[in-house]
Copies of this chain bind each other. A is one copy, B any other.
């Protein structure tokens, strides 16, 4: 991929930047043809660089995942274990809501080792596992759940507001209910 031809690299970047805009506007189910058209490339060019929709979303999200993994380390250093985990999960669900459909993509990919999104997810997963383990050892979080449970539940709360914008005002309370359920 480092030996990419200059025009190919330019198109790759162009498609990705356009996809970021269009997905922010229309969600993860945005028309791929629309993305290609607005990027000014042929349909086939999009498919050459991103053979599946997940491949495109993956490229779109890798940055966000890396950032979240970094935030986990910061929070772990700054806060007690339970507060660090709760703070991190709260940031995660806020970030996933930036793109409509993202909680779904994230949950779908959580256990799918074949998806390109899964690889990008791993760093974040391990960060989640670390925070969770520490909070469990401190006796602040129930011991019968793992990081997959926590990520699935938190994203499901993000999904609610995206499914029905009128419920967005309830988001904080719903998140609090789930976090209380995770407590020991």
Among A107, A163, A166, find the residue whose CB has the most chain B CB atoms closer than 10 A: A163
Q: How many of these chains are in the complex?
A: 2
Known A-B contacts A107-B160, A173-B144, A173-B145; A167 and B181 likewise in contact (beta carbons under 8 Å): no
For window 156-179 of A, CB contacts with B under 8 Å fall at 156-157, 159-160, 163-164, 166-167, 170, 173-174, 176-179
A148: contacting residue among B157, B167, B178, B181, CB under 8 A: B167
**Tally of chain A residues near chain B (CB < 8 A):** 31
Chain B residue nearest in CB terms to A109: B164
B residues in contact with A144, CB < 8 Å: 173
Say whether A177 contacts B181, CB under 8 Å: yes
Bitwise, A105-136 to B at CB < 8 A (1) or not (0) is: 00110111000000000000000000000000
